[in-house]
Amino acid sequence: LWSIFDCLVTDCNPSTYAHNHSHCDFGFYPNAGPNFYRNTDSETNTNRFAASYFHASPHSDTKFAQVSARVRNAIVRIETPVGSGSGTIINSAGEILTNNHVVSGYSNVNVLINDAVTVPGVVVGFHELIDVAIVNVGYRPLTFMPLSTRRPIIGEEITTIGYPRVDLVGIQGGSTLTRGIVSAIRVVAGQTFIQTDAAINPGNSGGAAIDRDGNCIGIPTAKFLEADNFGLLVPGFDVSNLVQQL
């Protein structure tokens, strides 16, 4: 899969990267052809379809902003010696859901919480094929956002939250929010994904995609480099039981 899609962390563990046909963590299509390659740059998404099809009222925009502000501190930045990604605090016990390719090869990571404090985190479980992992931190108190099991409706509006790679985009600051829609629900090589046109940039892997009520419906994981506004989310409804077992 990752020879088709950028895994959004860019600096993966070199040994893992080389072992899996020059892509991150696992490869369903190692010989996909010359048009499929990894991305090293950020990407801007104008969301033209979302803007024309969903003309939100000022009231709904205000609600969305309020919901995003409420859950934003549940999103963290995860750093390893070779790169960085994002994660979502999913419970009060300090468990953080992220992508496996963000932490692959490392048992200990650094976690930036509330854009203010960096604490040590321990990788306590992962599933390489589904590309999910759990990191635990001892820091308290925490803002958390449980993973939703609701299957989103195609066409509904969502927001993605994550930490773009500052060394790639050339700016400093906290997490960023981008808006889009659920474009489709697709099965790729036997795995279910939510397709979205919300902008997903390097470093956003492991963050959250939330609906208008602030429910985490998926994990930003990859984007298709040869098409505009084509990102993939690992769906909460598909992996919630797995996450509880990690």
CA distances (Å), 233 to each of 26, 34, 37, 167, 220, in order? 16, 24, 19, 24, 4
Radius of gyration of the chain (CA): 16
Mean pLDDT for 184-188 is 93
Q: Among all residues, which ones are annotated catalytic?
A: 101, 131, 205
* Cβ(99)–Cβ(9) below 8 Å: yes
- At position 116, the amino acid (one-letter code) is A
168-178 residue pLDDT tens: 656 666 888 88
Q: What is the pLDDT of residue 189?
A: 84
Mean pLDDT for 78-107 is 95
105-117 residue pLDDT tens: 999 999 999 999 9
Whose CA is closest to 39, among 9, 82, 69, 73?
9
Determine if the peptide bond prior to 146 is cis (ω within 30°).
no
- At position 215, the amino acid (one-letter code) is N
